[in-house]
Amino acid sequence: MRTIRTFALVLAVAATAAVARPAHAGPGNLALGDTTLSDVAERVVDGVVNVSSTRQVDFGPAAFDPFFTDPNSPFYVSPDERKQQSLGSGVIVSAGGRVITNAHVIDGADAIEVKLADGTELSAKLVGIDKRSDLAVLQLEGDLPPLHPLALGSSSALRLGEVVLAVGNPFGVGQTVTMGIVSAKGRAQVGIEDYEDFIQTDAAINPGNSGGALVNMRGELVGINTAILSRSGGYQGVGFAIPSDMAKPIVDMLVKDGKVSRSWLGVAFTDLTRDLATEKHITATRGVLVAKVVPDSPAARAGLKADDVIIAVDGAAVTNGGQLRNTIAMKRAGAVKLDIVRGARTESITATLETQPDPATMNGNGAPAKPAKPGKPAKPAKPARR
């Protein structure tokens, strides 16, 4: 479980702010057309699973110390006691047993077990993990019973104030459904993951809910619940879910290639503020200010310069750095049109995006490190901002 302080797993169901109430709807039973909130909750709960992962704990030097490893020692720590268990949730997304969860739920796991809503326990293998977005894909193994996968919905179609339900396994008590609303969209600068575009919700999310589903009133998966903002470590009304529109291409790449390939522009940037615009005599009132252009990068070859302001990518407006990072990362390698403000002029340039280098292979300038000459060891690479 993680937070900012606490991370959590949840499933959510969305409805519109104003809904019709059919004659059969009981007191307090929110309804949309002929579908009640209870109908949706009961339909989607079987698509959410409990995920349990076990990993070997590194005791450092103690792992080889006879005081801890000798069964006759009063300080003996058995192999089972050297294992750490993590509990979270996951969402079934295919009849063949594919499950989406959070990367932090299963990161480093030696074994992964999944429990279905009916209590059936199954082993699962890791298909792929992307720590930079906190997503992972599992595959259930063995003889599978009939499963109840959730259909993928469009998170971009969510509206502020839309009712959502969160379903998960808080504190290990079992499948639990909570209700709230979509509090905000596009939270891209929370500071939890490298790539963020969170849906914010006040549906109750607690430890153990990490990896659960956020669903709309059609029972469609619109988010994977991943974090809460909390001073206490428990629910305080601010939860975050990875939107389905962001998760889908990442999951598809993990299934196909076992990893995520992102595109790279090669700039360091900051959000344009009124003070920055005044200080640098920039006429733009919105966008992302280029602070540095990485040498020999797609941005440098396109002619992008420090103090340029990027205001749109392929015609879509850019309002903050987190949005720009996500947009560029998920574009295919190839040509992209950037609308920029340079001084008092607005112009368009074309950059040819490339596959993002591994941060471990980049030098201090943020560019891919060149191979060392034969006979000379390579200098350690430093991660750089992209």
Catalytic positions, written as ranges: 104, 134, 210
How far apart, in Å, are the Cα atoms of 352 and each of 20, 51, 231, 320?
Answer: 50, 41, 44, 21
Core vs surface per residue 282-320: b (16+ CB within 10 A) or e: bebeebbbbebbbeebbbbebebeeebbbbbbeeeebbb
Distance CA 343, CA 165 (A): 48
265: left (phi over 0), alpha (psi -120 to 50) or beta: alpha
Tokens of 86: 């993590």
> Angle, nearest 10°, between helix axes 321-330 and 244-257?
40
Distance CA 138, CA 107 (A): 12
Question: Residue 350's closest CA among 340, 341, 359, 342?
Answer: 340
> How big is the chain by its Cα radius of gyration, in Å?
24
- In a 10 Å sphere around its CB, with 0-12 CB exposed, 13-18 middle and 19+ buried, how is residue 268 labelled? middle
